[in-house]
Chains A and B, each alone.
Chain A
Amino acid sequence: MSIETDDSGVFGDGQERLSELSGKKVLVYVALTIGVILPVFPFALMVSMSFKPASEIYSLQVIPSTFTLENYRFLLENVPIVRQLINSIIVTGAVVVSVVITSCIVAYSLAKLDWYGRGVTYNFILATMMIPGILLLIPQFVIIVELGWVNTYQAMIAPFAISSFGIFLLTQFFKQFPDSLIDAARMDGCNELDIVFRIVLPNSMPAIATVAIFTFMNRWNQMLWDLIVIKNESMYTLPVSITLFAKTGLYGNSMGPLMAGATLLALPTILLFLLLRRYFIKGVTMSGLKV
């Protein structure tokens, strides 16, 4: 399943000129343009509020009449936001690297090697995707406590370090990978890990990018788990910090700083999505397949 897109954008060089558009097509564009305001507008509002002075914060005006960085300054002074941003980056980065490496190795074994019990193992891995995360929350927390990992990075990394979805997606992709290339590499003296990392991986970049981006998105946006295993403000990740900020509202008239924090949290995923939306969309159609 793939979706044909024309990345040249609305004003790019295409065959169609505006004059050649039929009336019906114009209506389609008008409907889509009006419709797209709905998903985008709340974010425009958020960014605009993060730059508004406190006196203007409740006004409906989307473009602030006075532009201020006061909200961001307030956030920097009252919340260890830089440290929390770094925490988010460390945790997400480690999880993405780990998921990509482990998914490649396991998927290669499932797709390209012939061993006893392979089919059962693959079905078992698929079955684990059906377990709702909430069921595992308490036992996983108990494990983290027993390991003495409360308030540590490894508590936020280890449970996400391997992903059944990543394994599933790459296994499907690797199955189509030509065996002749692998056999040739084996003849030339590559061992299995060489084959994974030097032959299969460089030739599977689109699939790996999809796994990496989906993992990034899910881990960056993860709130509940971090809320449970982290008790120390300087170890919070951004979602936890913003959540508690929104719930407690400790700082008086805090709407502006709150929106500034939300903007910081939203920006990385939105930017990455805009840059790499092809892979996001591929991941969506793949995740539809798993159900």
Chain B
Amino acid sequence: MPDATTESGARKADTSATKSGLRQRIAHLPLLGTATKRLGNHDDNLMGWALIVPWFLWASVFLIFPFLFALYLSFHEWSIISPETVFVGINQYVQLLTSDLFWQLLRNTLYFFVVNVPTQIVLALGVAVLLDRIVRGRALYMAGYFVPYVTSGVVVAVVFKWIYAPDGYINQMLAVAGTEINFLGSTTWAMPAIAMMVSWKFIGYYAIIFLANLQSLPETIYESASLDGASEWQQFRHITLPLLNPSILVVVILSTITAFQIFTEPFIMTGGGPNGATKTFVLVIYRNAFSYLEMGYASTIGVVLAAMIFVISYVERNYVDQEVSM
């Protein structure tokens, strides 16, 4: 193997000489001809492919086949214990989109999203702007704000389940003021409580994305702006905020993806209750697939969910791109 590359120059010349006869003979063929011609323009075809093959093998088993199989299953009824899958066409899609459950899930997700996104952007931006103004100790503060993000969602859910509990931390303090809120047991409070907790987990993460963007802004703009008499707030509003558009986009897309895929938190804290107020798409997919063994229907929900995530992040991307170019 080692000498294969030392003599690669000579060898390449050899093979191209023997190949050229073949290449001339097939050059007139419409597809194969152009393909071989293009192939000849690259130096490392064999080694390049050899190194990528492990990825292709793995991806066909764990990405490509599963992706296609999920689409296939979404048109079939299948409980994993029976060998037969029954083709039902778009029935499961119709069943899903006309069910109350789907609209409830959409409402819950939207509710989560509406609480989550503004909270995260405002607080993360605040932290980033403050961190941007200091150098000493920045790493230390950054670490503090970032800790929730690196910690397992399971840990966060377990700790907040107690913080929110009727006899938990917040309620013991509220008791001093004479009130009590059963956060996770109330249909109005359960979803905002979970959304606030998830916001809390991601603030440090988004703050760092904002901070990286803030640090890339040229200082000369601010100098000329303050010479023109712009107040600090005006500078923030009219210079910083528009220039942060790219990272705001990133944060909005990441929180959209998070909002649609929330699972661990309601699974541990509420089980989807009370009265379905914290049911999420992934929770319902999990139940359908692994409690009721409705693999087909669960796949249908999965496909619809993936399509929604894709479409929404696509729209967000184009919308914010427009804003930036204006």
Contacts and interface: CB of A to CB of B under 8 A. Distances in A.
Contact of A138 (B141, B159, B289): B289
B133 interface: yes
Interface in A29-84: 29, 31-32, 35-36, 38-40, 42-43, 45-46, 49, 58, 60
Contact of A113 (B51, B282, B289): B51
Contacts of B163: 42, 45
Contacts, number: 302
Nearest to B5: A191
A128 interface: yes
Interface string B56-67: 001101110111
B6 interface: yes
A90 interface: no
A106 B211 contact: no
B239 interface: no
B282 A109 contact: no
A190 B209 CA distance: 40
Contact of B5 (A125, A190, A280): A190
A31 B130 contact: yes
A181 interface: no
A106 B44 contact: no
A136 B286 contact: no
B3 interface: yes
Contacts of B247: 288
Please classify the interface of chain A as helix (H, G, I), strand (E, B), loop, or mixed, using the class held by over half of its residues.
Answer: helix
Nearest to B56: A121
Interface stretch (B86-94, B99-107, B298-306): B298-306
Given A43-B151, A135-B70, A14 B42 contact: no
A116 B45 contact: yes
B236 interface: no
A28 interface: yes
A250 interface: no
Contact of B205 (A49, A189, A221, A284): A284
A266 to B, nearest CB: 4
Nearest to B8: A186
Interface of A: 1-10, 12, 14, 16, 25, 28-29, 31-32, 35-36, 38-40, 42-43, 45-46, 49, 58, 60, 102, 105-106, 108-110, 113-116, 118, 121, 125, 128, 130-143, 145, 158-159, 161-162, 167, 186, 189-192, 194, 217, 220-221, 223-224, 228, 239, 242-243, 246-247, 255, 258-259, 262, 265-266, 269-270, 273-274, 277, 280-281, 284-285, 288, 291
What 3 A-B pairs have minimum CB-CB distances, sorted nearest first? A115-B48, A139-B66, A109-B51
Given A135-B302, A139-B67, 14 more contacts: A1-B216, A3-B212, A6-B139, A10-B137, A39-B146, A43-B159, A102-B55, A128-B63, A134-B261, A138-B73, A192-B5, A265-B152, A273-B146, A277-B143
